[in-house]
Amino acid sequence: MLEPISVSLETLNLSTLAPMLIAIVGGLGILVVDLIKKDLDKTLYVMLSILVLFVDLGAVIGQQVGDRGFFDVMLIDGLAVISQVVILVASMLFVPLALTSKRFHEFSYPEFFALFLFMVAGFQFMVASDNLILIFVGLETASLALYTLIALHNRDKAFEAAIKYFVMGALAAGFYVMGAMIFYALSGSVELYKIAEVLKAGGYANMTILLVGVAFMMAALGFKLSMVPFHTWTPDVYEGASASLAGYMSVVPKIAGFVVAMRIFGFLIQADVVWVRDILYAAVVITMTLANIMALVQHDVKRMLAFSSISHAGFVMAAIMIGTTQANSALFLYWILFLFTNLGAFAMLWVSRHKASIWHERYDHPYEKFSGMISIMPVGAVIMALFMLSLAGVPPFSLFWGKLYVMSAAVNADYIGLAIIMAINSAISAYYYLKLIVYMFLRAPEQNDGTVYVQNASKPLQTIIGFSAFLTVFAIFAVDPMLQMITAYVQASGF
């Protein structure tokens, strides 16, 4: 018979759960509001969501770093805090993108916002735990909500995207469970720190089985992080989803995935399990390069941005492979800078979204759509160009500093070859970003009165784009304080 376990409320340390609970309660609250009074306007739900996220952010920042709680499955270390901050800030920037001037029917459902908050809670669980089962629960909560959000866009392409993502996600979930099972079989635990201890004590005896486990994990996370060769869903899903959601997907699920990858591969790399590093090295180089080359031949700006975000993810995965404190800090710095730039770029596409496809029967945002934008809508063209230059890594715009720091981390860890590969990839990527700039600035406008670019524009959207552009240009002044904070958090959690 099992011994009865007595658990006191103090040892549960429920405050570690507070941030996720706030998001979940907020989501439920939105559903309740809908039950009480039907047909409230979306502006109410948008603002409610922002407020919930704001309170959530407060709870996250107020947390004690280094705490464990709730049967010790929750782990509030620096990584958890900082990644939750990124997730919440990105979410707060995303929600107001629902306030378009054209009516899109998904935003009229309160369920959209409830699901969105559940998804945020899922991502928060993912990053704030080192228990493989809780990570899995978080991952699936978030993913299921995300599939639904994509499908709510209610076009054929959106359904296709949702199904595609769902199937791939299910496969990834299967891989993840297999990987977790092997880890459990090897060590008798699902807690990563215990797995690390047991494996180390055993001197990594069952290397082959460990390799299989790592391979499963890598495939699972590869799907989530859209690493080549598990990236095939990405462009189609981004294309099917609304541009704003695609921008969100390119940032938030990935940061959650990075944190999980950091936790799982981190201890293996630190323990000098050489082939984990080698496999990751290969995956990083292939992801960066192939995604870049595929982005070169795209005809649609959104698909180009999808491939470019795969390439950026590869760039950042390199930081996990390097595994030094500087590299891990660089990852967060890069991703925070990427957040504003990429979300801004996708928001620019979102502003120009049309209900009917007037430019191309296949694509929503072909390059031709942006021909001669400078003479029709100079401010929009300049802002879009800023985002593109930043993505290409032209100094002093935001992503340059991320690239600089990741490359410096590579150099400092004696990966000069990797740094050169990164440099070459940046040069390749400049071509497709420039292509859009060329269309906007150097081509003559096609028949077009300019309304197409501001079809969806509203004050909140313009504010968000302006805010992103501002941060993109003046990132140089934010890098230092950010870097110090990030490094402190990352160091505190021992990475």
Question: Between 75 and 399, whose beta carbon lies closer to another protein?
Answer: 399
Element spanning 74, H or E: strand 74-76
Does position 442 interact with another protein (CB under 8 A)? The reply is yes
Question: Between 47 and 488, whose beta carbon lies closer to another protein?
Answer: 488
Does position 438 interact with another protein (CB under 8 A)? The reply is yes
Does position 416 interact with another protein (CB under 8 A)? The reply is yes
76 three-class SS: strand
From 167, 205, 423, 450, residue interacting with another protein (rule: CB under 8 A):
423
Contacting residues for 376 by C-beta, under 8 A, at least 6 apart: 445, 448, 449, 450, 453
Nearest to 479 by CA among 398, 394, 403: 398
Nearest to 315 by CA among 368, 256, 393: 393
Rounded to a whole number of angstroms, the distance between the first and last alpha carbons of the chain is 41
From 141, 390, 426, 472, residue interacting with another protein (rule: CB under 8 A):
426
Question: Between 104 and 439, whose beta carbon lies closer to another protein?
Answer: 439
Using the rule CB under 8 A, give the single segment among 172-180, 193-201, 359-367, 410-418 that binds another protein: 410-418
Does position 473 interact with another protein (CB under 8 A)? The reply is no
Token pair, residue 287, equals: 């992801």
Residue pair 161/150 in contact by the 8 Å Cβ criterion: yes
Residue numbers 325-364 binding another protein by CB under 8 A: none
Does position 389 interact with another protein (CB under 8 A)? The reply is yes
Nearest to 74 by CA among 124, 3, 142: 124
Does position 431 interact with another protein (CB under 8 A)? The reply is yes
Does position 394 interact with another protein (CB under 8 A)? The reply is yes
Does position 65 interact with another protein (CB under 8 A)? The reply is no
* Least distance from another protein to the Cβ atom of residue 368, Å: 14
Distances (CA, A) of 381 to 251, 371, 384, 393: 23, 10, 5, 18
DSSP 8-state symbol, 397 = S
Element spanning 254, H or E: helix 252-270
Does position 474 interact with another protein (CB under 8 A)? The reply is no
Does position 319 interact with another protein (CB under 8 A)? The reply is no
Alpha helices in 15-77 (DSSP H): 18-36, 42-61
* Least distance from another protein to the Cβ atom of residue 83, Å: 21
* Least distance from another protein to the Cβ atom of residue 426, Å: 5
Q: Using CB under 8 A as the criterion, which residues of the chain lie in contact with another protein when the complex forms?
A: 374-375, 389, 392, 394-396, 401, 404-405, 407-408, 411-412, 416, 419-420, 423-424, 426-427, 430-431, 434, 437-438, 441-443, 476-477, 479-480, 483-484, 487
